[in-house]
Chains A and B, each alone.
Chain A
Amino acid sequence: DIQMTQSPSTLSASVGDRVTITCRASQSISNWLAWYQQKAGKAPKLLIYKASSLESGVPSRFSGSGSGTEFTLTISSLQPDDFASYYCQQYNSNWTFGQGTKVEIK
């Protein structure tokens, strides 16, 4: 099974900050990676697919990069609506999530 390791688990940041979350796969997954945002008590929302493709309707301050085993999600200028948890997910072989990153207000 492919394991996904996400870091950090918690991130404290201020509005306007540039934020980066990292996700590592235990083996190469090419670019079969998605990122989701989840707010408390709500279902996850798709942000990025195929490692770097922005889902329709998602603000352009969100971007994804990477391939193989190393991936990043970047929020270029953190907005109040962005305080949430973020999960990476591989879909190269079945599906596996990272442990999640909670973005908190500093």
Chain B
Amino acid sequence: EVQLLESGGGLVQPGGSLRLSCAASGFTFTNNAMSWVRQAPGKGLEWVSGISGGGGTTYYADSVKGRFTISRDNSKNTLYLQMNTLRAEDTAVYYCAKDRAYSGSYWDYWGQGTLVTVSS
């Protein structure tokens, strides 16, 4: 059974940093691209960042480019999102999502989400 478990969310001040993790199980992690998707309170879904199965290709939404870094450790079956220079508008539930393919398709499994709140 595929499972994705996010952690690392919490309250952080504007300008601060946070690292999210997503522990994956139930599938061959290196075979699938992964993404982070967020949802601000009461709002729709917004793709944040993606990474290919081997980790060699990364993608970012314009809203986070230069501030967020996606990475993965295939030996630990874990996806990461390093978030720097956080802003109030980054407040959201962050989901990790498993891509059906090695790179760039749709997402067939999602984690339960972790809440990031950026506030002073």
Per the bound structure, the CA–CA distance linking A54 and B100 in Å amounts to 14
Is A75 in contact with chain B by the CB < 8 A criterion?
Answer: no
Contact indicator B59/A97 (Cβ below 8 Å): no
Contact indicator B45/A43 (Cβ below 8 Å): no
Q: Which of A10-18, A22-30, A87-95 contacts B (4 or more CB under 8 A)?
A: A87-95
Main secondary structure of the interface of A (DSSP, over half): loop
The count of A-to-B residue pairs whose CB atoms sit within 8 angstroms is 50
Per the bound structure, the CA–CA distance linking A44 and B59 in Å amounts to 21
Interface centre among A1, A43, A44, A55 (most CB of B within 10 A): A43
User: What's the tally of chain A residues with a CB closer than 8 Å to chain B?
Assistant: 22
Which residue from chain A places its CB closest to the CB of B62 in the assembled complex? A1
Is A34 in contact with chain B by the CB < 8 A criterion?
Answer: yes
Contact indicator A97/B45 (Cβ below 8 Å): yes
| A-chain residues with CB within 8 Å of residue B62 when the two chains form the complex | 1
24 pairs, CB–CB < 8 Å, chain A vs chain B? A42-B112, A43-B95, A43-B110, A43-B111, A43-B112, A43-B113, A44-B37, A45-B110, A46-B106, A46-B108, A49-B100, A49-B105, A87-B44, A87-B45, A89-B47, A91-B105, A91-B106, A94-B47, A95-B35, A95-B50, A96-B47, A97-B47, A98-B44, A100-B45
Where the two chains meet, the residues of A that have a C-beta atom closer than 8 Å to any C-beta of B are 1, 32, 34, 36, 38, 42-46, 49, 55, 87, 89, 91, 94-100
